[in-house]
């Protein structure tokens, strides 16, 4: 007989036939998924009205492991797919769970325009500084001078600053945490889910198999210790100061929390005025 104690409390929200997952030992994506599940349970949402969309990559596998209505889309197209779901059925809570390579490089254009339109999405961007699934190539978030398989002399490209990109494009909620700040990350995901509009939570996650192995930074636990010692919490910090340099301090916190009308609100307002005008012209 299987006792109740033999089951992990989060098993109801996981597809147990696929567990154990493919993520390497020391990876932070599993921890981020835990934070997301705890946030969903704390919010007591109707799970039939939550939808998770992922792109391609290590983090893109999340859609396959979470036992909700989830979609695993093509590379970089998680946000357009989620936009379609949100506009088709505005009652749903749509969460885009993807990595930095998927959201910022290949889907960078979609990221900017969804933020500009202020579509009501929650974007959880797991940033591990590298394209991990395809073999550790240089990503748009790789810090300067970091080694990757395609930058054997160190990276010369200036990395993207995800919070600044999101703010300048028009996101209403922007936060950044590491995979170690697990309770604060959970609270941020709860706030982002409740916030109407385009909300972005960036999660700095260790990549033990490519980023820290090529740069000789140790295992996942050593990266976690590095975050423990070098992350500084500065709420409401101006986002231009949030660049991440190679093995320097990481500023984390909640940076933007503002109000803007969402796309659905503006459309509904137009619909109401249009109906009034139509009924007047009928008379």
* Angle between helices 108-117 and 162-169 in degrees, nearest 10: 40
CB of 267 to other proteins, least distance (A): 39
The smaller minimum CB distance to other proteins, of residues 2 and 272, is found at: 2
Q: Is 11 in the site for other proteins (CB under 8 A)?
A: yes
Nearer to other proteins, 23 or 173 (CB): 23
Q: Which two tokens stand for residue 38?
A: 């705890």
Nearer residue to other proteins within complex by CB, 68 or 119: 68
CA angle, 119 then 120 then 124, to 5°: 105
User: Least distance to other proteins from the beta carbon of 233, Å?
Assistant: 17
Site for other proteins in 126-185 (CB under 8 A): 180, 182-183
**Cβ atoms within 10 A of the Cβ of 12, count?**
12
Does 265 bind other proteins (CB under 8 A)? Our answer is no
Torsion angle in degrees (nearest 10) through CA of 193, 194, 199, 200: -40
Residues 173-199: b if buried by 16+ CB within 10 A, e if exposed: bbbbbbbbbeebbbbbbbbbbebebbb
Residue selected from 1, 5, 152, 259 as contacting other proteins according to rule CB under 8 A: 5
At closest approach, how far in Å is the CB of 23 from other proteins? 6
- Residue of 12, 18, 49, 221 interacting with other proteins (CB under 8 A): 221
Rounded to the nearest 10 degrees, the angle between the axes of helix 78-88 and helix 263-282 is 40
Instruction: Choose, by CB under 8 A, the member of 60, 101, 170, 220 that binds other proteins.
Output: 220
Least distance from other proteins to the Cβ atom of residue 274, Å: 49
Sole binder of other proteins in the list 36, 38, 50, 256 (CB under 8 A)? 38
How many of the chain's residues bind other proteins (CB under 8 A)? 33
In this complex, which beta carbon is closest to other proteins, that of residue 166 or of residue 224? 224
Residue from 209, 224, 242, 256 touching other proteins (CB under 8 A): that is 224
CA–CA dist 214, 15 (Å, integer) = 33
Least distance in angstroms from the C-beta of 184 to other proteins: 11
172 Cβ contact list (under 8 Å, min separation 6): 118, 195, 196, 197, 198, 199, 256, 257, 258, 259, 260
Q: Would residue 27 be called left, alpha or beta, if left means φ above 0 and alpha means ψ between -120 and 50 degrees? A: beta
Taking residues 16 to 35 in sequence order and writing x for each that binds other proteins by CB under 8 A, - otherwise, the string is ---xxx-xxxxxxxxx-xxx
Q: How far is the CB of 63 from other proteins (least distance, A)?
A: 17
Q: Does 41 bind other proteins (CB under 8 A)?
A: no
CA atoms in the 13 A half-sphere facing the CB of 126: 29
Distance CA 254, CA 251 (A): 10
Binding site for other proteins (CB under 8 A): 5-6, 8-11, 14, 19-21, 23-31, 33-35, 38, 180, 182-183, 186, 208, 219-221, 224-225
């Amino acid at each position: 007989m299987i006792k109740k104690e033999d089951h992990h409390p989060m098993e109801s929200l996981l597809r147990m036939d696929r567990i154990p997952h493919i993520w390497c030992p020391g990876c932070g994506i599993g921890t981020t998924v835990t934070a997301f599940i705890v946030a969903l349970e704390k919010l007591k949402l109707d799970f039939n009205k939550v939808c998770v969309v992922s792109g391609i990559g290590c983090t893109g596998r999340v859609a396959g492991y979470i036992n909700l209505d989830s979609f695993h889309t093509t590379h970089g197209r998680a946000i357009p797919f989620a936009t379609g779901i949100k506009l088709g059925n505005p009652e749903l809570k749509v969460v885009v769970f993807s990595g930095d390579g998927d959201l910022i490089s290949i889907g960078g254009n979609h990221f900017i325009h969804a933020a500009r339109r202020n579509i009501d999405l929650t974007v959880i961007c797991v940033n591990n500084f590298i394209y991990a699934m395809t073999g550790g190539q240089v990503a748009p978030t790789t810090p300067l001078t970091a080694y990757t398989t395609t930058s054997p002399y160190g990276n010369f490209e200036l990395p993207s600053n995800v919070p600044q990109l999101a703010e300048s494009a028009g996101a209403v909620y922007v936060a950044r945490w590491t995979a170690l700040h697990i309770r604060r990350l959970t609270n941020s995901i709860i706030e982002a889910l409740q916030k109407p509009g385009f909300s972005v939570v960036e999660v700095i996650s260790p990549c033990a198999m490519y980023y820290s192995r090529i740069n000789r930074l140790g295992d996942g636990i050593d990266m976690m210790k590095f975050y423990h010692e070098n992350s500084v919490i500065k709420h409401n910090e101006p986002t231009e100061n949030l660049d991440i340099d190679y093995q320097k301090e990481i500023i984390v916190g909640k940076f933007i929390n503002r109000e803007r009308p969402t796309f659905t609100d503006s459309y509904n307002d137009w619909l109401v005025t249009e109906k009034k005008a139509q009924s007047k012209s009928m008379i």
